[in-house]
Amino acid sequence: MSQMGHPVTSRPPYTPFRLLVTGGGTGGHTYPALTAIRALRDRLADEGRDLDVLWIDTAEGLEARVAPAEGIPFTTVATGKIRRSSNPLKMTGPTNVIDMARVPLGVAQARSKISEFKPDVVLATGGYVAVPAGFAARLCRRPLVLHEQTVRLGLANRKLAGSATRIALSSESSLALLPQAVRATAVVTGNPVRPEVLTGNADKAITTMGLTGFDRRLPSVYVTGGAQGAQQINDVVRDALAWLLERANVIHQCGLANVEGLRGNAAGLPLHLARRYYLTGFVGTELPDVLALADLVVCRSGAGTLAELTALGKPAVFVPLASSAGNEQAHNARHLEKAGAAVALVGEVTSDRLADVLRPLLTDPERRAAMAQAAREHGRPDAAQRLVDVLLDAARSAG
């Protein structure tokens, strides 16, 4: 009883859910983590709870800009990048040896930060930057959830698999690549995609982007090499452009540095073809509408791209980045090609080869529809919610 005679209600002190995130270096690792954070925050808000997040990585990666912009506290630890090679002697070269020697320091630093933050769960999304914090989570007896975006397992996640409480995979086919001893901890969630990507409107793209010259009786093709563009893709599309515009409308996102050169190339097009060509350096908030309009996408085959296109059910012609780590993009592209959802253009890519694979896709709507259905069957638009389920379950299991 209080001094005034009223009963005092005793409530336990409120504590927010604490999530520590590690992993990044590129958008393929960073953006799935960011999407999962947003989904978890929304889930907890529905339950009247708050989320505290700490992101541990290096100062050089994309996440060093993304996390603060999202209002997420960010801190760094030492780590080292292992440069892979088919030659074992190169793997033990001086640069790798120096970098590997930095990992124990990073583990010690991460252990201190985890001990202070006391996360309910640690999420690691891959990249060499995730290794120190991943090992430190085990030392601190904090549940560790790995998320793998690619069809094959990344090097960092292979190293951390034995320390993980749960392993969230983007593809069923990845299960067989896990060591037998850890397969019981694995669950297929898919790769989180931004919810806004799934809400596009094709007519809005026509209106807001001024695509009044597009012939809606023809299929529309979205060409992209990522935010910076891709010289390889730009070149083959440039050389096939007149042929392509006879058969399709084209939105070509080429990278800001490449606009002038490609605009000069398109200046000689007949007016009726030029009206079907929309060239831009960058596609921002209008991306969902562009994807809704696109009947076919010509692009790289990074894990995030695959996740978005399959969630939307979009057929694609993939031109994998040959220098991607572990040749992951080629494996991604072939994986969807085998499923009938895409065409993989690997090796030397010419305008003639591009035309050869596009011709039947542009002229046969039923074939595009079959590829779209195959893509949709591999898509997991609810991947972020599935990953949130795994994070919450891992935290509950840890008590």
Kindly indicate whether the domain formed by 17-192+381-397 is annotated with CATH number 3.40.50.2000. Answer: yes
- Same CATH fold, 195-378 and 17-192+381-397? yes
pLDDT of residue 12: 47
Structure confidence at residue 228 (pLDDT): 83
pLDDT for 58 = 86
pLDDT tens digits in sequence order for the chain, 399 residues long: 444 454 444 444 568 999 999 998 788 889 999 999 999 999 999 999 999 999 998 888 888 999 999 999 999 998 865 544 455 555 455 555 555 566 899 999 999 999 999 999 999 999 888 999 999 999 999 999 999 998 888 888 999 999 999 999 999 989 998 999 999 999 999 999 999 999 999 999 999 999 999 999 999 999 999 888 899 999 999 999 999 999 999 999 999 999 999 999 999 999 999 999 999 999 999 999 999 999 999 999 999 999 999 999 999 999 999 877 668 899 999 999 999 999 999 989 999 999 999 999 999 999 999 999 999 999 999 999 999 999 999 999 986
Written as one letter, the residue type at 261 is: G
User: Which residues lie across from 343 on neighbouring strands?
Assistant: 317
Q: What is the pLDDT, as a whole number, of residue 328?
A: 87
- Residue 100, pLDDT score: 58
Query: What's the confidence (pLDDT) of residue 8?
Result: 45
Nearest-Å Rg of the Cα atoms of the chain is 24
Per domain, the residue ranges of the chain are 17-192+381-397, 195-378
> Whole-angstrom Cα distance, residue 53 to residue 161?
23
Q: Check residue 11 and give its pLDDT.
A: 42
3-state secondary structure the chain: CCCCCCCCCCCCCCCCEEEEEECCCCHHHHHHHHHHHHHHHHHHHHCCCCEEEEEEECCCCCHHHHHHHCCCCEEECCCCCCCCCCCHHHHCCHHHHHHHHHHHHHHHHHHHHHHHHCCCEEEECCCCCHHHHHHHHHHCCCCEEEEECCCCCCHHHHHHHHHCCEEEECCHHHHHHCCHHHHHHEEECCCCCCHHHHHCCHHHHHHHCCCCCCCCCCCEEEEECCCCCCHHHHHHHHHHHHHHHCCCEEEEECCHHHHHHHHHHHCCCCHHHHCCEEEECCCCCCHHHHHHHCCEEEECCCHHHHHHHHHHCCCEEECCCCCCHHHHHHHHHHHHHHCCCEEECCCCCCHHHHHHHHHHHHHCHHHHHHHHHHHHHHCCCCHHHHHHHHHHHHHHHCC
Where do we find the tokens 């079959």?
370
Predicted structure pTM score: 0.87
Please state the CATH superfamily assignment of the domain spanning residues 195-378 in this structure.
Answer: Glycogen Phosphorylase B; (3.40.50.2000)
